[in-house]
Structures are given as C-alpha cells and as structure tokens.
Amino acid sequence: MRLLYDFKALFDRYGVGVGSFVAVVISLWVFILILLPQIAMIDMSFGHNLPPAERGGPNDVYTLSNYAYFLFGNDGGFNTLHLTIMAKTVIASVVVTVFDLILCYPIAYVLAHGAKPQAARLMIIGLIVPYWVNEVLRAFAFRILFGSTGLVNGVGLALGLWSDPIDFIREDVALYAGLTYAYILLMIFPIYNAIEALDRNQIEAARDMGASWWRIHWRVVIPMAKPGIASGSTMVFMLTTGSLAAPQILGGPSNLWFTQLVYQWFNEASNWARGSAYAVILVAVCILFTFLMMRVFKVSIGEIGR
C-alpha cells in the first residue's frame, strides 16, 4: 500500500509520462538487479555442488548441508575457523563504524552549522575529490604509507617515536585505517543532512540557557541526527563487512576476511552452492545489524533510508 501511494504521488507531481518512466525504471532495478539475483543465490545455497550434467536430476535436491558446514564443518564439531573469521569480520566492521562515527560527527556538524557557506563548499569538495581515485589504488596507497619504508614509519623513526620499523600491515593497522577512510563519506553526508535540518535557533537557545557544549550536542543535536547516524552506521558496516579489495591488499597474512571465504568458494573451490550459502549468511548479518541500529536509535527503516 505504501508503494502504491508513493507511485500515485509520483504521477500526481510529474504526470503520467514521467511518472510511468520512473516507476518502470525503479521496478526493473529492484526486481531484476536486486530481488532476482538474491532469490537465485538463496535457491542455489540450498543445493548440492553438482556437475552441470547432474543438475535437474534425481540428486539435485534441497539440502541444509552448506549452512551446516559453516557451523560444524565436515567432522561434526564446530567449524571454529570460519566462525572465528565471521566474528572477527563483524567485530572489525563495528570498530571501523565507530571510528568513522567519532571522526565524522564533528566534521558533519561543522559543515552544517559551524562553517560559512563558501568554506563549507570548499570542505565538501576537499572531501569528495580524493574519491575520484579508484578504491583499489587508494588501498595500495595506504599499503605504501604504512609499509616498513613508508611515510608513517619514516616520520616515526625520524621523531624517535620508535627505534625499529613497525609492521603495520601484519598488525592490521593499515587495514583499519584504509577501511575507515574508504567509507568516510557515507558517514559524513547522512549525518550532515540530518543536522542541517536542525534550527540554529535551538542551539542558540540552549547556549543562552547556560547549557554546556556536550549537553547541547547530547540533548539537542544528537537526537536530531539519530536517523543520519543510523543510516551512516548501517552503510559503513555493510560495505566494510562486504569489502574484498582492502582486506586482500591491506590485511595481514593471518587475517582472513569473510568475503575472502565467499570468494574462495566461488572462484577457487568452484563450489557455488556453498559460496551462495556463505553470501546469504553475510547478508543476514548485515540485515540484523540494520535492525539493531533501528532499535538502538529508535528510528524506522524509512528514516534510515532518507
């Protein structure tokens, strides 16, 4: 009903021609490029890894073995390796999301209420321009920066902060820094859009009543920014858990990202059924995180999607 109401409003505002075009394009996008691939992946995840000649035959039946393998492996015990990789990926994604939130909230506030319009536009351009560079190239740039002979180690050694080069790659410092930087815009702009709608007079009134800086943000700004914080956190978490290039380039030799497991099942083991099951599990984790954000910040899915 909500979708029909939105389409009716679209027709009323732009006319039947433009409204029909937009409705058809959105429908094709949602059903062909989003829903159908997901349905196909879910269907494949409940199947056996059969050669093409046996597909559709008596052995091609639904099974839960691919999901059972994620939990128990082949020997019946817990699949501690893959469960640990999933846990590490989720925890690392939460840490990156928190880093981005701490870093981006002050920037978004300054853009919305602290800087003059000309300065704000220059700041936005300065944030966007670096992202004209491909994500893979930016990941390699971080690997160079944090390498044993890179800029970070060079400055640290020159200032006497440490006596020997630190292996930031093995310690995953480069990975966390690269992922935090990779999705920083997806945290800034949702928070900026939410804070920008805040009436500046509310902040001035709170100051006139003697409220401290932290109390103004806690009681006035953050409640207004909750949808933006939830939206930004959801997008950063999802893209971090689903990242593949950055973990492969910046991750240490002992750090395996869950997306790398999915990649291995699809491309190295040629087991598309199990790869689909692992991909479905990853999608389910991201959906659960979205619901968690909705509950923590007490916002609806519509507010997150704005």
Under the banding of pLDDT at 50, 70 and 90, the label for residue 7 is low
The helix-helix angle for 272-297 and 65-72 (nearest 10°) equals 70
End-to-end CA distance of the chain: 19
Q: Which residues contact 111 (CB under 8 A, 6 or more apart)?
A: 120, 123, 124, 188, 192
List phi, psi (to 5°) of 284: -60, -40
Is the Cα dihedral 264, 266, 272, 277 positive or negative? positive
pLDDT given for residue 144 in this prediction: 92
- What pLDDT digit, counting tens, does each position of 50-67 carry? 887 787 788 788 999 999
The rounded distance, in Å, linking the Cα atoms of 132 and 301 is: 30
- What pLDDT digit, counting tens, does each position of 70-90 carry? 999 877 788 999 999 999 999
- What pLDDT digit, counting tens, does each position of 158-194 carry? 999 988 899 898 888 999 999 999 999 999 999 999 9
pLDDT given for residue 23 in this prediction: 79
What domains sit in the chain, N to C, each tagged with a CATH number?
74-304 (1.10.3720.10)
pLDDT given for residue 298 in this prediction: 82
pLDDT at 301 over 80: no
Is the Cα dihedral 72, 80, 238, 287 positive or negative? positive
pLDDT at 4 over 60: no
Please calculate the CA angle 128-228-29 and round it to the nearest 5 degrees: 75
Residue reference for tokens 């984790």: 285
Indicate the average pLDDT of the chain. Answer: 87
- What pLDDT digit, counting tens, does each position of 184-209 carry? 999 999 999 999 888 888 888 888 88
The answer to whether the CB of 236 falls within 8 A of the CB of 189 is no
Mean pLDDT of 265-294: 92
pLDDT at 250 over 70: yes
The rounded distance, in Å, linking the Cα atoms of 229 and 188 is: 9
Residue type for 82, please? Answer: H
Please calculate the CA angle 180-185-187 and round it to the nearest 5 degrees: 75
